[in-house]
Structure 1
Amino acid sequence: MGLSSVYKPLDINNISLPNRVVFPAFQANFATSDGFVTERLLRMYGKIAEGGCGLIIAGCMAVSDDGVPNTNTLRINHDKHIAPLKELFAVIKKNGAVPAAQLIHAGRQTLSVMTGHQLVAPSAIPCPVMKETPVELDEQGIKRIQDDFADAALRAKRAGAELIELHGAFGYLIGGFLSPYSNKRTDKYGTDRSLFFTQIIEAVKSKIGDTPISCRISADEFVDGGLVLNDTKKIATRLVDAGADVISVAAGTYASMNHMSPTINMGEGIHANLARGIKDAVDVPVICSDNIRNLEFADSIISENKADLVAICRSQVADPFFVKKSLNKQQITECTDCMTCLYFLRGAKAASCPQNPQL
């Protein structure tokens, strides 16, 4: 099997990707406690860029202090974060990849002990995993956070990000608004659950112009009463109409963590069918993710028109030169599915990888 599809360049608006491999936003908890870039982050992203990945989405980056998902998450809610992020994006670009930024508000899927603020969400319903009851956002609070996303996107662009991703997956705040599982509102943000997200896209677009916007969504939440593909195909269409240039397909929420970070025994490319369903609904590039462990399989996803790009995380964490080694038919240091990179599931402070001790 060849690699002609996965190594084909792709133009999105004003950027040109050298290949179709994406390193998705990986919350390694390597930032400082107040959200600044560290040498460890520069090293990790620099090596993955040098290793041949086409698009690197750095993140996740919190747009509001009350939306920080963990203790050492990157933040982008103040102009003081621009200069260190400029260094990060410059390292990525210098080493051959296109730099991007993922923006997030964690909503109810964090803890006030981490944020220092009361949790907020579309409805005052606790996440069944985090178990802390949030406050239901009023319209003033909604507008504040929408403005935070727009301001953060402009900061990311000024710092050198060439694509902005809005995190609407996994049950975080935007995803929480999208889903009947977590949004029980009776106002316009409940009767039209896409409205919160489409207004953010429009606000971001007004700030960053032609810089491409990717919208990450859980195409199926795999929880009772949650979003399924028939819902998210319609949502994806709405997002594109609002200005999205890319749809990044994920799955799950905190209550279905096995779909957020599937193990290899769940099957190769476990969510490729979801990506194909979204691709059938929209006319913009689609990113497929989850259990894509080799470039031959990634190539087949693209050549079979299931997606336009493939997000490969853990394999590039285990071996930052995964892409170049695959092209050159060199031995790859394989991800063993040990899950130590998912530090939060085992009570660790940050990600690690026994296959990549220099991480």
Structure 2
Amino acid sequence: MNQPKSPLGMLFEPLRIGAMTIPGRIVKTATTETMSTVDGFVTEELVAFYEPYAEAGTPLIVTGNFYTQRSGKVYHRMPGADDDDKIAGMRRLTEMAHRHGAKICAQLSHAGRQVFQPAANDDPVSASAVSDKFSGIRPRAMSLEEIRAFVLGFAQAAERCQRAGFDAVQIHAAQGYLLSQFLTPYTNRRSDDYGGSFDKRLRILVDILKATRERVGNGFPILLKLNGDDALPLRKGLHTPALVDVARVLEDQSLDGIEISVGHYESGFPTIRGNFDLFFDTLLDQGVGREYPPGKQRSMRLSKGILAALSNRLWPHRQGFNLCYAEQFKRALKIPVISVGGFSDPQAMAQAIQAGQCDAVSIARAMIADPYLVRHVHQQQPVTECRFCSACLARIGTRAVDCFHPDVAPQRAIMMAREKGLGHARAA
């Protein structure tokens, strides 16, 4: 007699993304690692960070963003794909992943005006000279010559990733980074061929996809990270129908898959819904807030209690908080749709896929709390529970990524030691 199929079984059904097939529907989404050298080279620390994800059988690992040009650096210890001298280090990362049978995708990005640490980039650029109200940084508008150089640099970076052994690349056009800044009318006030109408604001992304495809060929998967909504109230941000139209155009231009996120830095915290009780203290004492101007630091310290209470009210955590957007892309596209956004519960992941809201889910914070999450779900073992305190995100750019929750971090350490011990036993 046939046994009833586990509702979680669909999480381990294969998914085809272009020419690549991944053995499941749980993706490790990009997270800022703060583990490269200051010159952008991959370190052994970075390779070691990703090894548990590969050991755990994670179907697809998407790295934290690699900058394609030095002008696109977000923070000091960010890895780069801007020169051939980076290929050897990137290859150490891909060889490790492949040794464990994992697929690995390099996320490529340019910060534009969204620079965590001004010292990392003293000449921020954007589509237009529109200040970021979150950081206070005012970029300068890119020239046409700079745009052309950026398009070429992006395609060259993707080719380096291919040469280094990555299984795919992901173009980061979400969360208010440079390509998102070109798409969004609020941040793109140009009147030339790269601004104004929908087609002109989209042009840089079409140019990048075409140039990249020419370099990597038809058999190499190219994914996109895109907002489901810009979440910019009272400003000319993009909403889901227009962003779905962006995806339709790029699907026709050979895009292989899309991951849906939300927001800009200036939006507040719709991208990282959770609990913010400790976030602002941590940001100011241990994060990039230490580099804020003295006046901004003082005002944030005086208002941190109000900021935390307001953030908790506006952006509470919930499972799959971008599914309301992702399902609209799923209805409109033929390529796979991946949804990021607060997933930690396997039942919620399976339900999202079963309901047709997305083809796969991607996870950041819950996988920081439990890098072996995929193995634990597959074996129906307890998952080390993320509390979505975002203490990991408050330290971006200053500390290597880790779980810092006072209750979860010790549990994680015990779990990691156990898994490593089991790994050594298997190897023996």
Give TM-score, length-normalised by structure 1: 0.95
1:2-39 CA distance string (max 9 Å, x none): 11221101122321101111101111211111111122
Q: SS of the residue aligned with 2:27?
A: strand
User: What letter matches 1:250 in structure 2?
Assistant: S
Q: Is the 8 A contact 2:256 2:335 kept in 1?
A: yes
Q: How does 1:261-272 map to 2 (within 5 A)?
A: 261-263=272-274, 265-272=316-323
1:277/1:108 CA distance change after superposition, 3 Å: same
Task: Measure how far apart 1:342 and its partner are.
Answer: 0.3
Counterpart of 1:213 in structure 2 is 222
Larger mean Cα displacement after TM superposition, 289-298 or 76-85:
289-298
Q: SS of the residue aligned with 2:9?
A: coil
Q: Is the 8 A contact 2:74 2:117 kept in 1?
A: no
User: What CA distance in whole angstroms lies between the structure 2 residues aligned with 1:285 and 1:14?
Assistant: 12
User: What letter matches 2:254 in structure 1?
Assistant: G
Counterpart of 1:343 in structure 2 is 394
Counterpart of 2:259 in structure 1 is 248
Counterpart of 1:310 in structure 2 is 361
Q: Is the 8 A contact 1:343 1:350 kept in 2?
A: no
User: What CA distance in whole angstroms lies between the structure 2 residues aligned with 1:216 and 1:288?
Assistant: 10
User: What letter matches 1:351 in structure 2?
Assistant: V
Q: Is the 8 A contact 1:194 1:235 kept in 2?
A: yes
Counterpart of 2:423 in structure 1 is none
Query: How high is the sequence identity, in percent, across the aligned residues?
Result: 30
User: What CA distance in whole angstroms lies between the structure 1 residues aligned with 2:98 and 2:64?
Assistant: 16
Matched length = 358
Larger mean Cα displacement after TM superposition, 99-108 or 348-357:
348-357
Q: How does 1:266-305 map to 2 (within 5 A)?
A: 266-305=317-356
Do structure 1's residue 222 and structure 2's residue 231 form an aligned pair?
yes
Q: Note the residue ranges of structure 1 that are not aligned, 5 or more in a row.
A: none
2:403 to 350, 353, 356: 353
Q: SS of the residue aligned with 1:177?
A: helix
Larger Rg, first or second structure (1 or 2): 2
User: What CA distance in whole angstroms lies between the structure 1 residues aligned with 2:164 and 2:206?
Assistant: 24
Q: Note the residue ranges of structure 2 that are not aligned, 5 or more in a row.
A: 1-5, 276-315, 418-428
User: What letter matches 1:349 in structure 2?
Assistant: R
Task: Measure how far apart 1:344 and its partner are.
Answer: 4.2
Q: How does 1:181-200 map to 2 (within 5 A)?
A: 181-190=186-195, 191=197, 192-200=200-208
RMSD, aligned CA? 1.7
User: What CA distance in whole angstroms lies between the structure 2 residues aligned with 1:330 and 1:111?
Assistant: 37
User: What letter matches 1:312 in structure 2?
Assistant: I
Q: SS of the residue aligned with 2:158?
A: helix
Q: SS of the residue aligned with 1:194?
A: helix
User: What letter matches 1:204 in structure 2?
Assistant: T
Q: SS of the residue aligned with 2:8?
A: coil
Q: Is the 8 A contact 2:114 2:176 kept in 1?
A: yes
Q: SS of the residue aligned with 2:212?
A: helix
User: What CA distance in whole angstroms lies between the structure 2 residues aligned with 1:28 and 1:148?
Assistant: 23
